[in-house]
C-alpha cells in the first residue's frame, strides 16, 4: 500500500503536528507513505528530519495553475494507491487534478471550514467558498471528531462518505524538555509565580481575545499570576495593543515557538488553557495533558469528546471570559484539584488517544477504501 499525503507545506499548529505524527507512525507500520507539498518551510524541514520522504512542487500563488499539471503527472507516475489531502489549499488543487488521476483521493477535515478564515472578510468570501465546494467533490472525508461528522451531515454531506478518526499523540517517546527556570529565563519571565498559558495561532477563531480578557479579570484579584501566550498570527498587533492599553504587564507574548520549545512551554505552565470559538480535536490540549497539566478549555467542537468536565479538565462556554476567569481562579486556589485533573487527563490520553491507535485506524480505512474502489470498478 502506497499513500501520498498532499498538504501545502506552510501549515503550523495542530494540522502540522497531526500530519507529521501520522506519517511517522504509518512508516512504523511498514506502509509506504510520503509527503507532497507546494512550498518549502519549517514543515518540510521537520518532515525530512523525521525521515519522511518529501517532494516539493512549488506553487508560487494560489492561482498559479502552472503547478497543477506537474502535480498530477508526479502523482500518476508515483505508483501511489491513494492520495490523502490536508487543508484548504490541497483541497482547492484537488478540484483541478482529480479527474486526471489514476487513484482515488480523500481528505481530512481538521477544522470547521466555515471558520478557517474568520479573521479576514476577503479570504472568507473567496477561500471558504472554494474549500466548501472542493470538500463536496471528495468521495471520502475523514473528520477528527463526531461533532464534525454530524456538522457535515447537517450541511448535506452523505454519512457513508464520512469516517471519524481521533487525533493521537506519542505517549511512548515523550520529548525531553528544558527545566522550567531555563525556559522562562529565555523570555525574561520569573519562575517563582503561578503561570497560566495558552498555545494557539493568534487568529479570531482561536479566541485568544477571550483568554486575554479572562486574564485581565484574574489579575484584578491575583497580582502574582503570570499569563503566557505562545503563537503568532493576524491578531497579534491588536491583542498586544489591548494589553498595552490596559497596562496588563503580567501578560507575555512569546511569539511563534520553535518546534523544540513546544513541550518546554507546556512543562513551564501550571494551567493549560484553550479558549477557541471552534476546534477539532486540538493537539494543544493533548500536548499539555501529556505533561499532566491541569486543563481548561471552551466547549468548542471535539473538545467535549476529549475532556470530561470536572474529571479530566474544566470546560467553559465558548466566548465567555468571565467563566474562563472563574475556572482559572478555582484552579489557582486548589493545587490538589490541579494535580487530580492533570493526572486523570494523562491517563485518559494514554488509554484512548495514542499515535499507535490513530495510525492503525488510518491503515484500516485506507484498506477499506481501496477494496471499495476495486469493487466499484468491477461493477
348/359 same-domain check: no
Rounded mean pLDDT, 343-367: 92
Count the neighbouring beta carbons within 10 Å of the beta carbon of residue 357.
15
Q: What is the pLDDT of residue 12?
A: 72
Judge if 337 and 359 occupy the same domain: no
Structural domain that includes position 140: 2-168+355-378
Regarding whether 20 and 129 lie in a shared domain, the answer is yes
Q: Looking at the domain assignment, is residue 295 inside a domain?
A: yes
Residue the block writes with cell 493545587: 335
Residue 150 pLDDT greater than 70, yes or no: yes
Residue 72 in any domain: the answer is yes
For residue 173, being part of any structural domain is answered with no
Same domain? 196 vs 344:
yes
Cα separation, 234 vs 313, in Å, equals: 29
Q: Is residue 29 part of a domain?
A: yes
Residues for the chain: how many in total?
A: 379
Its pTM stands at 0.75
Half-sphere exposure of 310 (CA within 13 A, CB side): 0
Instruction: Please indicate, yes or no, whether residues 193 and 323 belong to a single structural domain of this protein.
Output: yes
Across-strand partners of 55?
36
Residues 236 and 304 both lie in one domain:
yes
The CATH number given to whatever domain includes residue 310 is 3.40.50.2000
- Mention every residue, 6+ apart, whose C-beta is less than 8 A from residue 240: 253
In a shared domain, residues 32 and 139:
yes
- Does residue 174 belong to any structural domain of this protein? no
Q: Are 219 and 297 in the same domain?
A: yes
Q: 293 with 270: CB under 8 angstroms?
A: yes
The three three-digit cell numbers of residue 119, written as one number? 479573521
- The per-residue pLDDT for range 253-303, each reduced to its tens digit, is 999 998 889 999 999 999 999 999 989 889 999 999 999 999 999 999 889
Q: Is residue 175 part of a domain?
A: no
Q: Give the tens place of pLDDT for each residue, 186-231.
A: 999 999 999 999 999 999 999 999 999 999 999 999 999 999 999 9
Whether residue 64 sits in one domain with residue 31: yes
Domain count, the chain: 2
Neighbouring C-beta atoms of residue 102, cutoff 10 Å? 12
132-163 burial: b if 16+ Cβ within 10 Å, else e:
eebbeebebbbbbbebbbebbeeeebeeeebb
Verify that 359 and 348 share a domain, yes or no.
no
The pLDDT score that the predictor gives to residue 11 is 75
Give CA–CA dist 93/164, Å, rounded. 24
The pLDDT, as a whole number, for residue 121 is 64
Q: State whether 238 and 364 are in the same domain.
A: no
In a domain, 73, yes or no: yes
In a domain, 157, yes or no: yes
> Does one domain contain both 11 and 64?
yes
Question: 250 to each of 186, 206, 220, 231, 256, how far by Cα in Å?
Answer: 16, 21, 11, 17, 19
Amino acid at each position: 500500500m502506497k499513500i501520498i499525503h498532499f498538504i501545502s507545506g506552510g501549515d503550523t499548529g495542530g494540522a502540522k503536528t497531526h500530519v507529521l505524527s501520522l506519517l511517522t507512525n504509518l512508516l512504523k507500520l511498514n506502509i509506504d507513505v510520503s509527503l507532497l507539498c507546494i512550498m518549502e518551510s519549517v514543515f518540510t524541514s521537520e518532515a525530512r528530519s523525521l525521515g519522511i520522504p518529501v517532494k516539493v512542487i512549488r506553487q508560487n500563488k494560489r492561482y498559479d495553475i502552472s503547478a497543477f499539471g506537474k502535480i498530477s503527472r508526479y502523482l500518476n507516475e508515483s505508483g501511489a494507491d491513494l492520495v490523502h489531502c490536508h487543508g484548504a489549499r490541497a483541497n482547492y488543487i484537488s478540484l483541478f487534478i482529480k479527474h486526471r488521476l489514476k487513484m482515488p483521493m480523500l481528505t481530512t477535515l481538521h477544522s470547521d471550514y466555515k471558520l478557517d478564515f474568520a479573521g479576514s472578510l476577503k479570504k472568507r468570501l473567496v477561500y471558504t467558498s472554494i474549500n466548501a465546494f472542493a470538500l463536496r467533490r471528495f468521495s471520502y472525508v475523514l473528520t477528527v471528531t463526531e461533532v464534525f461528522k454530524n456538522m457535515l451531515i447537517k450541511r448535506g454531506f452523505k454519512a457513508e462518505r464520512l469516517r471519524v478518526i481521533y487525533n493521537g499523540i506519542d505517549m511512548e517517546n515523550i520529548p525531553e524538555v528544558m527545566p522550567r527556570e531555563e525556559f522562562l529565563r529565555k523570555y525574561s519571565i520569573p519562575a517563582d509565580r503561578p503561570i497560566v498559558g495558552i498555545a494557539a495561532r493568534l487568529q479570531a477563531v482561536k479566541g485568544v481575545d477571550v483568554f486575554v480578557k479572562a486574564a485581565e479579570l484574574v489579575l484584578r484579584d491575583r497580582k502574582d499570576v503570570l499569563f503566557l501566550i505562545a503563537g503568532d498570527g493576524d491578531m497579534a498587533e491588536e491583542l498586544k495593543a489591548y494589553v498595552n492599553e490596559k497596562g496588563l504587564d503580567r501578560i507575555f507574548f512569546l511569539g511563534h515557538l520553535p518546534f523544540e520549545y513546544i513541550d518546554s512551554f507546556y512543562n513551564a505552565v501550571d494551567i493549560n488553557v484553550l479558549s477557541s470559538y471552534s476546534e477539532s480535536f486540538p493537539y494543544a490540549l493533548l500536548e499539555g495533558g501529556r505533561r499532566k497539566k491541569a486543563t481548561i478549555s471552551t466547549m468548542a467542537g471535539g473538545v467535549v469528546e476529549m475532556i470530561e468536565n470536572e474529571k479530566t479538565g474544566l470546560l467553559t462556554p465558548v466566548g465567555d471570559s468571565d467563566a474562563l476567569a472563574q475556572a482559572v481562579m478555582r484552579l489557582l486556589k486548589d493545587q490538589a484539584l490541579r494535580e487530580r485533573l492533570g493526572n486523570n487527563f494523562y491517563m485518559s490520553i494514554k488509554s484512548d488517544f495514542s499515535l499507535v491507535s490513530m495510525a492503525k485506524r488510518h491503515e484500516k480505512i485506507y484498506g477499506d477504501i481501496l477494496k471499495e474502489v476495486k469493487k466499484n470498478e468491477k461493477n
